[in-house]
Structure 1
Amino acid sequence: MAKHTVITPLPGTFYRKATPDSANYVEVGAQISAGTVIGLIEVMKQFSELTAGASGRLNAFLVEDGDSVEPGQVIATFDDE
């Protein structure tokens, strides 16, 4: 089983949901596909989707909703299935 990471290409603020009242895009333990949106990175009121690069099961988020992130930082991990 291969391990994968989701890495942010941008600095900014990480959000797990589209709006404060929305459900999270995905939860830990969920099956995800390549291209699945796992969160957003906000930079100066512009939001960019952060997506998985492969399919698998989401293991963990390494940052919390609302945390500041830097380019190259690992946001989440997942395994092939």
Structure 2
Amino acid sequence: LLPPAGVQVLATAPVAALSHDPQQEDVRGQSVASPAVDQYAGLEKVKSPIVGTFYRKPSPDADSFCSEGDVVKKGDTLCIIEAMKLMNEIEAPISGTVVRIFPEDAQVVEYGELLVVIDPRR
């Protein structure tokens, strides 16, 4: 095949033919990875409402708002997320026992990232 008149070809590259791999399966509409078991099913998962820096304490020399194993009441401050120089207090949505705190102090967190898990049964 020749290029149309007036068109200059600078380089050509070989074209690979597509072939069907019988080892691959059609996964449309299917979950590719098996779903992970939610070890925190039935517990309250507190997620970050914004992107920012996670802080466990109000200041470097203060005690943490809460620790794993602490009992918290609805409305208690769990942590602070700093975004654009604004400190946003994240409150416990329910009363219960703090099972897990995921981010490290001063760690950047994303919107929707899991911060704290609370067990309302304890």
Bin for the TM-score computed over the shorter chain: over 0.9
Kindly indicate whether the alpha-carbon contact (under 8 Å) linking 2:67 and 2:101 is maintained by their aligned counterparts in 1: no
Residue in structure 2 matching 1:43, options 69, 83, 87: 83
Residue equivalent to 1:19: 59
1:65 matched to 2:108: no
Residue equivalent to 1:8: 48
Higher relative contact order (Cα pairs below 8 Å, separated by 6+ residues) = 1
4+ long deviations beyond 3 Å: none
TM-score (norm 2): 0.63
- The structure with the largest strand share of the pair is 1
Unmatched 5+ stretches in structure 2: 1-41
1:5 deviates by: 1.0
Unmatched 5+ stretches in structure 1: none
| Aligned residues: CA RMSD | 0.9
Of structures 1 and 2, the larger Rg is shown by: 2
1:44 deviates by: 1.6
1:9 deviates by: 0.5
